[in-house]
Amino acid sequence: MSTSRRTFLRASLAGSTLAVAMGAGLLSPRTVLAAWPQKAFATDSLEEAMKGIVGGSNATPSDKVVVEAPDIAENGAVVSITVKSSIPNAESIAVFVPENTAPLTMSYLVTAQITDFITSRIKMRKTSEVLAVVKASGKLYSGKKSVKVTLGGCGG
Amino acid sequence: MANEIKIRAWMAEGDKATVKAIIFHPMETGLRKDKSTGQIIPAHYITEAKIEHNGKNIMTCLWGPGVSKNPFLSFSFKGAKSGDNLKISWVDNKGDHSSDEVKLA
């Protein structure tokens, strides 16, 4: 990111009209690269979510994609998920919970420098599989793990 | 506490570094109701977090409301050495943003 762009963003934040527009969600400061795929994150269909984030819904199950998660999650609001991939030239890793209101939970656009694993914590509404899809050289590979949730994590 | 990021980053083995970070953020889904008022709590969640190593983007996290409150992120990367800069910056659906950086231990 160039410095001038950053300065521009700071300057525009000060402008009240722009600030109002941002507050309304019409314009968000692109301090981070890549467009956020709003549609993929909003859909309740696993297929649509996969198409939206990795460009297809047919992933080949692979033992090179390993999902590590607890067998039983007592608190669905915080479920630690680790994805380990040994697929070469990975471009992105997306994690889906098909039983969630919105199956797509997170996606990581990775470079060759990222190795071994990525761990994050996600919410799970109820017992579900956790599906990880790795996109590499235009192909999709998947791994999954079932997690039993005893207390759902999306309710109020 | 607002907009706070806690980052730990250290050399593991060879040229590999391990990073652990927590970003303090409510990560509201927009589906929950405030129990006292019955009003829906508006969605408020981080959409993108960017990881930079010595100024070069090495990973972009696209997050949705399904990521837990106070998102935790851990990963390892190669091509690192002690003293290198690691920066994490994020932006949320309301346009709030923050960043923090550490030197690799």
SS3 B20: strand
Share of chain B above pLDDT 90, in %: 90
Confidence check: pLDDT of A15 > 80 = no
Cβ–Cβ below 8 Å for A111 and B47: no
Domain residue extents for chain B: 5-97
Summarize pLDDT for A76-92 with one digit per residue, the tens.
Answer: 999 999 999 999 999 99
Return the pLDDT at A156: 44
* Set of chain A residues whose Cβ sits within 8 Å of the Cβ of B59: 108-111, 113-114
Alpha helices in chain A (DSSP H): 3-14, 16-23, 38-42, 46-54
* Set of chain A residues whose Cβ sits within 8 Å of the Cβ of B57: 33, 111
**What are the angstrom distances between the C-alpha of B45 and each of A16, A44, A51, A124, B19?**
23, 18, 22, 16, 22
Q: Are B77 and A124 in contact (CB under 8 A)?
A: no
Flag whether residue A35 sits within 8 Å of chain B, measured between CB atoms: no
Return the pLDDT at A91: 95
Confidence check: pLDDT of A33 > 50 = no
Return the pLDDT at A17: 44
Cross-strand bridge partners of residue B59: A110, B51
Best of B51, B68, B69 to mutate (most A CBs within 10 Å, chain A): B68
Question: What is the total residue count of chain B?
Answer: 105
Alpha helices in B1-105 (DSSP H): none
- Greater confidence (A25 vs B72) lies with B72
Cβ–Cβ below 8 Å for B91 and A31: yes
CA–CA dist A83, A67 (Å, integer): 5
Confidence check: pLDDT of B33 > 50 = yes
**Domain B5-97 CATH class label:** mainly beta
CA–CA dist A123, A105 (Å, integer): 8
Highest mean pLDDT among A3-17, A98-112, A141-155: A98-112
Flag whether residue B47 sits within 8 Å of chain A, measured between CB atoms: yes
Q: Are A85 and A64 in contact (CB under 8 A)?
A: yes
Q: Nearest chain A Cα to B58, which residue? A: A111
CA angle, residues B22, B99, A78, in degrees to nearest 5: 20
Flag whether residue B81 sits within 8 Å of chain A, measured between CB atoms: no
pLDDT band, very low/low/confident/very high, at A31 (cuts 50, 70, 90): very low
CA angle, residues B57, B58, B60, in degrees to nearest 5: 80
pLDDT band, very low/low/confident/very high, at A19 (cuts 50, 70, 90): very low
Q: Are B48 and B62 in contact (CB under 8 A)?
A: yes
Confidence check: pLDDT of A108 > 60 = yes
The sign of the dihedral angle between the CA atoms of A122, A124, A129, A133 is negative
All structural domains of chain A: 1-33 (no CATH), 38-149 (2.60.40.2470)
Confidence check: pLDDT of B75 > 70 = yes
pLDDT band, very low/low/confident/very high, at B11 (cuts 50, 70, 90): very high
Return the pLDDT at A23: 42
Determine which of A6-20, A94-108, B89-103 has the lowest per-residue pLDDT on average: A6-20
CA of A35, closest CA in chain B: separation in Å?
A: 9
Flag whether residue A78 sits within 8 Å of chain B, measured between CB atoms: yes
Q: Mean of the pLDDT values across residues A54-81?
A: 95
- Greater confidence (A24 vs B83) lies with B83
**Lateral strand order in the sheet of A79-85:** A65-68, A79-85, A114-122, B72-77, B17-23, B5-11
Best of A2, A111, A118 to mutate (most B CBs within 10 Å, chain B): A111
Return the pLDDT at A16: 43
